[in-house]
Amino acid sequence: MAIWVIAEQRDGELKKVSLEMLSKGQELAEELGTELEAVLIGDEIEGLADSLAAYGAAKVYVAEDEELGTYSSEGYSQVISELIEENEPDAVFFGHTAFGKDLAPRVAQKAGAGMVSDITAVEVEADQLVFTRPIYAGKAFTKSKVLSKPVVATFRPNVQDLGEAAETSANIETVDVDLADIRAKVKEVKQQSGGRVLLTEADIIVSGGRGMKGPENFDILEQMADVLGAAVGASRAAVDAGWREHQYQVGQTGKTVSPTLYIACGISGAIQHLAGMSSSKYIAAINKDEEANIFNMADYGIVNDLFKVVPVLTEEFKKVL
């Protein structure tokens, strides 16, 4: 009986959402009087188990194999499903990331489990987990209880608070892995170069829309992002115009992001854009139209020409950062 967090790592580095889920999981486990445990899968990753313990995992199941070095839907879902069958956890949490979105439904299907996705909050009511998730592009929220066991849930990254890390070492249980029946193997992963933080993990995002007027003008956003250590996003209008690649699109048909600060530059605030960023902690908007809908959502707004404002802000940020 336990709450499980399926840890996500890439190239030996844990994704922040895994630690966020552990921080939240610790609270929930205490309230429910159950254990918090983590599952770590990959190749040569055992060293990461201590970090999972530091954020509250009382036990870490470690499945290591060369074949698991790169993500494989079939391999990872097989390992997790077998572990679930053996240990019968009450709840299994994944990040709502490309990894979690691919893996969680497969695991839920194999375990015959109910699933709730993209959750932004969870609480305990009458000994049951109640999950909150945004619907209608963030205009409304549903609260769901899942009656089957285990419940599988995916957590929106950057929403749960990260707790304090404790000084502790992990209680590791090594998992026997038999991948003889796996039909598909990942032979190579080609990564795009570029040193910027990922959009979905960024603490600060500077985003540009049609108001940027052309691809070359994104340079001023890149410069501001360099100073802030931010990622650069875009509206669909900017992506459709061919100014930015689709992987940087924020919104209903792009990425959902929840940074601490989202700076929207020359973005009007269409509902489909808001769908992807309305759960940001703070929203700042720069737009020359004071009627722009983005100002209804923004915590801070500057009504002015972004080509005047952005370079000034960048210089000011340089002075304090």
Ligand X SMILES: Cc1cc2nc3c(=O)[nH]c(=O)nc-3n(C[C@H](O)[C@H](O)[C@H](O)COP(=O)(O)OP(=O)(O)OC[C@H]3O[C@@H](n4cnc5c(N)ncnc54)[C@H](O)[C@@H]3O)c2cc1C
Point out the annotated binding site: 210, 235-236, 249-253, 266-273, 287
Any contact of residue 270 with ligand X (CB under 6 A)?
yes
- Pinpoint the alpha helices (H) of the chain: 16-32, 49-54, 73-87, 98-111, 218-228, 236-240, 271-277, 294-297, 306-320
Q: Which stretch binds ligand X (CB under 6 A): 92-100, 117-125, 149-157, 262-270?
A: 262-270
Q: Which residues are annotated as a binding site for FAD?
A: 210, 235-236, 249-253, 266-273, 287
Nearest to 17 by CA among 116, 196, 121, 156: 156
Indicate whether 301 belongs to the interface with ligand X (CB under 6 A).
no
CA 65/CA 215 separation, integer angstroms? 44
- Backbone angles phi and psi of 43, in degrees to 5: -125, 130
User: What's the token pair of residue 104?
Assistant: 């969680």
Q: Does 307 bind ligand X (CB under 6 A)?
A: yes
Q: Does 73 bind ligand X (CB under 6 A)?
A: no
137 binds ligand X per the rule CB under 6 A: no
Tell me the residue type at 228: L
Burial of 74 (0-12, 13-18, 19+ CB in 10 A): middle
Tell me whether residue 85 or residue 219 sits nearer to ligand X (CB atom). 219
The yes or no reply on residue 109 touching ligand X (CB under 6 A) is no
Is 211 a binder of ligand X (CB under 6 A)? yes
Residues 240-259 that bind ligand X (CB under 6 A): 249-254
- 266 lies in the binding site for ligand X (CB under 6 A): yes
The answer to whether 58 and 36 are in contact (CB under 8 A) is yes
User: Do the bridges between strand 261-265 and strand 204-208 make them parallel or antiparallel, or are there none, so unpaired?
Assistant: parallel
Q: Residue count at the site for ligand X (CB under 6 A)?
A: 28
CA distances from 296 to 63, 135, 251, 275, 304 (A): 48, 19, 17, 14, 16
Smallest distance from ligand X to CB 213, Å: 7
Position among 13, 125, 178, 305 found at the interface with ligand X (CB under 6 A): 305
Q: Does 215 bind ligand X (CB under 6 A)?
A: no
Q: Does 128 bind ligand X (CB under 6 A)?
A: no
| CA–CA distance, 63 with 177 (Å, rounded to integer) | 7
The number of residues in the chain equals 321
Among 95, 273, 279, 314, binds ligand X (CB under 6 A): 273
- Please identify, using beta-carbon distances, which residue of 249 and 314 lies nearer to ligand X: 249
Q: Is 206 in the site for ligand X (CB under 6 A)?
A: no
Choose the stretch contacting ligand X; rule: CB under 6 A; options: 32-40, 64-72, 174-182, 285-293: 285-293
134 is a site residue for ligand X (CB under 6 A) = no
Site residues (vs ligand X, CB under 6 A): 209-211, 235-238, 249-254, 266-268, 270, 272-273, 276, 286-289, 292, 305-307
